[in-house]
Structure 1
Amino acid sequence: MTTTTPARPARTGPPAAVPTPAGPRRASTRVPLWLAVPALVSLLVTAGYPAVAGVALAFTDSSLARPLRAFAGFDNFVAAAESVAFGGSLLRSALFAVLATALGLVAGVAAALALHARGGRFGLLGAVLLLPMVTPPVSVGVAWKLLLAPVGGALTGLWDAFSVPGFNPLGSGPGAFATLVLIHAWQWTPLVTLLVFAALLGVPAELREAAALDGAGWWRTLRSVVAPVVAPTVVAAAVLQLVIAFKVFDLVTVVTAGGPGVSTIVASFEVFRTAFRGSFEVGTAAAETLVLGVLVGLVLGVAGLVTRRVRGADE
């Protein structure tokens, strides 16, 4: 006699969850906030305190001997706006920054392309080209002042060879201003060269090979393949160059001291003169500093819009 076991009814509910073995717990990636305290304190000391002190001086009647004497409102800003010397120095600073940046960009991009054409290695020649950038500006100014001295200067023989004995490029206002622009561009062109050379290394070789197969020449490859990749770096280098050029001070102090006359007095040097020479008006100098900061901020804002458009075009 055989017995049959009844069939089990089909399960209609959701399947039971299968227990999974517990793996290793993931470590937390959050950094404790107290580790940032030293950096925050350093930032407050080096940036926060000078900023607050500068604003306080700009709105008070302050001299070098007696700072923060009384609240002056916008009197210091009115004095800065009415100062013919400061207005002229702002124009000279803007002209200096634009000329030095344009010259440094052209020379830096050309040098980067030449170095990259040697085979993509920076090499000893590239390291030598970086020497002006790592030299202190004071040393650069002293060296060029000795080179350009009309009597006993190292370039005196060169002027004689061109039949211009006793030539002094620092003897006239336009000549001194142009000389400072050239010296500044010479010192900071290596920064552009280094940045653009690094960007050139990021251009895919496949794009160059595809352009060559399509019959594109050197100029067409540079314009259609290399330029879109390098353009954001060039714009960033231009912004850095503008900031550095607006801050130029030690080069002017060493080479020309603002002369001849007032032809090379830029805004930073005029702020120094207002605060530490003559009447020692520290409050007015602080107001001039804030005005200069606003001007630089506007220039950087325009540069930022250009950068966004360049990146948007590339994307």
Structure 2
Amino acid sequence: MTDPLFLKGRAGTVSRGATAWLMLLPLAAALVLFAVFPSIYVAALSFTKSTLGQPFRSWIGWANYYWLLGGGDRVFVPSLLRATIFAVVVSVVELALGRALAVRLTSLRRGGRLLRSVLLLPLMTPPVLVGVAWKLLLAPGGGLINGELMSLGLIAEPVSFLGTTPWALMSIMVADVWQWTPFVALLAYAALRQVPDDVVEAAWLDGARPAAVFWKIQLPLTAHLLFAIFVLRLIMAFKIFDLVYILTFGGPGNATDMSGFTIWRTGLREFDVGRAAAQTVVFAVFVSVLLTPLLWLQRRTEDHAA
């Protein structure tokens, strides 16, 4: 005869398992709706002749990819390389500046809360307003930066920062660094706060200098977190669009044309959705391949820290 307690325990296990699956259903549905389905839809579009008004007009196989990678599109591949340079440079600069600000925040005894609040201002500013503000600052006529440089005697006449190369791309980098360095600084500050206070205080009592405390104590203990911040910021930087659209619109020529802007222009200005979908797929694959060794290194640093 079966033990009633066994049946009750088995029923309870089944009930808990069913409840767990039911709780996962909303997440699974959202994942399918907002991630899996759009990915399949874009991949399917890339094999078709499609316009914005008439998607899936005809099946053309790999023709969009042959056009994209075979030399038919002379803009996308350079924009992909340009986006890579942009993402790597701004991520490295922002990590260095953000780390320096984070170290400063951890050393402050008074005014730390006020400084953290000030650091939030660029993050709270909409990207469009950031672009407009920097466009006014960099304007050749009446712009603050040109005015200051001329008053200091560093330049004899106004410089068209957004209309000449390489200044246009560098200007977008400067605007991006201004906008996102506080974000990196706050994350780096949270990482540095993970270092035990007694270890740092012991180093101070032993007469260690601030640089020695950082390089020999704080950095080794937070390297895996700082590396994770760098990877996160790198992924975000690849998606640059707003500043390019507001500041230069891809110009002068194609000097600031980066992947996100190129895809937008192909799909929403030229209305060639099939080719824009192929560009999107190639962009996603390229970024994934580029990030794979970085994610592997991140896991290694996390395992080492553990």
Counterpart residue number, 2:162: 170
TM-score by length of 1: 0.85
Counterpart residue number, 1:43: 31
2:222 to 216, 227, 230: 230
**Counterparts of 2:301 and 2:196 in 1: how far apart (Å)?**
19
Unpaired segments ≥5 residues, structure 2: 1-11
The aligned amino acid for 2:25 is V
Counterpart residue number, 1:259: 251
**Counterparts of 1:98 and 1:33 in 2: how far apart (Å)?**
41
Cα contact 1:138–1:251 (8 A) shared by 2:
yes
Counterpart residue number, 2:265: 273
**Counterparts of 1:268 and 1:58 in 2: how far apart (Å)?**
16
**Counterparts of 1:32 and 1:311 in 2: how far apart (Å)?**
30
1:182 aligned to 2:167?
A: no
Counterpart residue number, 2:87: 97
1:142 aligned to 2:125?
A: no
Unpaired segments ≥5 residues, structure 1: 1-25
Once the two structures are superposed, the pairs formed by residues 165-314 of structure 1 within 5 Å of their partners are: 165-278=157-270, 280-314=271-305
SS in 2 for 1:119: coil
Where is the helix percentage greater, Structure 1 or Structure 2?
A: 2
Q: Deviations over 1:126-182 (max 9, x none)?
A: 111121122211111011111211113343431321233422211212100001011
Taking only the aligned residue pairs, the percentage that are identical comes to: 39
The aligned amino acid for 1:176 is A
Cα contact 1:149–1:156 (8 A) shared by 2:
yes
- Describe the shift of the 1:199–1:29 C-alpha distance in structure 2 as closer, same or farther (beyond 3 A): farther
Q: Deviations over 1:276-300 (max 9, x none)?
A: 223x221111011011101111222
TM-score by length of 2: 0.87
The aligned amino acid for 2:171 is T
The aligned amino acid for 1:56 is A
My pick for the range that moved more, 160-169 or 223-232, is 160-169
Q: Deviations over 1:185-232 (max 9, x none)?
A: 111111111111111111112222343455543322212211122111
My pick for the range that moved more, 258-267 or 298-307, is 298-307
**Counterparts of 2:204 and 2:137 in 1: how far apart (Å)?**
47
Offset at 1:252? Answer: 0.3
1:76 aligned to 2:76?
A: no
The aligned amino acid for 1:68 is F
Counterpart residue number, 2:5: none
Cα contact 1:89–1:267 (8 A) shared by 2:
yes
The aligned amino acid for 1:157 is G
Counterpart residue number, 2:7: none
The aligned amino acid for 2:103 is L
Cα contact 2:163–2:248 (8 A) shared by 1:
no
Counterpart residue number, 1:131: 121
The aligned amino acid for 1:238 is F
SS in 2 for 1:84: coil
The aligned amino acid for 2:297 is V
